[in-house]
Amino acid sequence: MADADTPGDVNAVIAGLLRDLGAVQAMRPKRFAYRRAAAAVQSLEQSIGALVDANGALPKMPGIGPASARVIREVLETGGSATVEAAIDAAGDHAEIVRQRSLRQGFLSRAEVVRILGDAGLPGPALADHRGDFQMHSEFSDGSATVAELAAACVARGYRVAAITDHSHGLTIAGGMTMAEAAEQRRAIDRVNAEYGATFRLLQGVEANIDADGRLDLTDDEAAQFELVLAAPHSRLRRAEDQTTRMVTAVRHPHVRILAHPRGRMAGVRGGVVADWRQVFETAARHGVAIELDGDPARQDLDAGLAALALEAGCLFAVDSDAHSPEQLSYAETALAHARLASIPADRIVNCWPLDRLLDWLARPAR
């Protein structure tokens, strides 16, 4: 039943059960209400058990009505919810609930992320080691903010470096950027760098799309115009067949420096690319390509489990937010929590490197 990586992640357990309860509702408004309640619990900063008062009463929480509060009380008292299990039995479609539960494995709630980052006993990078973010989207593709607004938010988080990585022109569904728009964006980035001087460096990156054969939607000349090329899969994410060749081809591309959200999974919805990940990671390690831990709460891709395999294969890592607005830069903390759970040394994480080492790696990735 537990959706979490760690058994103590009560908020993830509750959110999962509320999603189950939503999934078996016949009426759309009820489905949405439980989904909203699940999202509210998943994004709480504190474990819900800590919010209960001395009489066992829950405080009023936005998005959480009486029926959801009952599920929460049941989980706190018994570890499960008889109400949810009865509703699933009554609806009769067990197989679909089992499928959805399997697609929520390895996801951390926000409260669990906060707990992991605050646990000084865990190895791996601390929040203060994370000096930059290498996946974020501006209004040049599907983000909401300007380049200058994102840069200001990065500086406010204490970053020394960051990369704007809008989608490339092949991904029209996400407002992919034409090369003319990329030239305009370059001027906006130059203005930011002129303003901040030596205190902060903004790179022009791009999130290139990996096609069915592992090729990118950028020519070599186009890719060479960016300072950082991420490659990421956005299609064929629900197939059962092996796609190792596709992913190996992508990480062998001479311009690619980061394999972003490697599986393309989405919580409760799809598992993403199926591949022999050891082979993909060993190829990435040989070519100096960093494997991304994408911190979007619905992605968490890689999570700690698969990241440990990449660590064993000798990979470098990128710990990124995949933010589409300045507020979402905090998603990097979700990725960082997985890096801590996987015991990835800060030295293997490109976001933790001094700027000169980072620029050197971008120029000559293979060691």
What residues from 176 to 235 belong to the interface with Zn ion (CB under 5 A)? 232
Residue 244 phi, psi (nearest 5): -60, -45
Q: How far is the CB of 14 from Zn ion (least distance, A)?
A: 29
Q: Which is nearer to Zn ion, 19 or 324 (CB)?
A: 324
Q: Cα(343)–Cα(124) distance, rounded to whole angstroms?
A: 5
Q: Which is nearer to Zn ion, 130 or 324 (CB)?
A: 324
The residue assigned the tokens 């905090």 is: 330
Q: Which is nearer to Zn ion, 11 or 249 (CB)?
A: 249
Q: Which of the 8 DSSP states describes residue 129?
A: G
Q: Which is nearer to Zn ion, 13 or 232 (CB)?
A: 232
Q: Which is nearer to Zn ion, 235 or 330 (CB)?
A: 235
Closest among 125, 363, 131, 130 to 257, alpha carbons compared: 363
Q: Which is nearer to Zn ion, 232 or 358 (CB)?
A: 232
Residue 350 in the binding site for Zn ion (CB under 5 A): no
Q: How far is the CB of 10 from Zn ion (least distance, A)?
A: 30
Residue nearest to Zn ion (CB): 232
3-state helix, strand, coil in the chain (%, to 5): 45, 15, 40
Residue 256 in the binding site for Zn ion (CB under 5 A): no
Q: Which helix (H) or strand (E) holds 180?
A: helix 179-196
Q: How far is the CB of 327 from Zn ion (least distance, A)?
A: 19
Q: Cα(70)–Cα(61) distance, rounded to whole angstroms?
A: 13
Residue 319 phi, psi (nearest 5): -115, 100
DSSP string, 272-314: --B--HHHHHHHHHHHTPEEEEE--TTT-BS-HHHHHHHHHTT
Q: How far is the CB of 8 from Zn ion (least distance, A)?
A: 31
Q: How far is the CB of 277 from Zn ion (least distance, A)?
A: 18
Q: Which of the 8 DSSP states describes residue 57?
A: P
Residue 258 in the binding site for Zn ion (CB under 5 A): no
Residue 323 in the binding site for Zn ion (CB under 5 A): no
Q: How far is the CB of 134 from Zn ion (least distance, A)?
A: 13
Return the structure tokens found at 191: 């203005």
Residue 108 in the binding site for Zn ion (CB under 5 A): no
Q: Which is nearer to Zn ion, 6 or 325 (CB)?
A: 325
> Contacts with Zn ion: how many residues (CB under 5 A)?
1
Under the rule (CB under 5 A), what is the footprint of Zn ion?
232
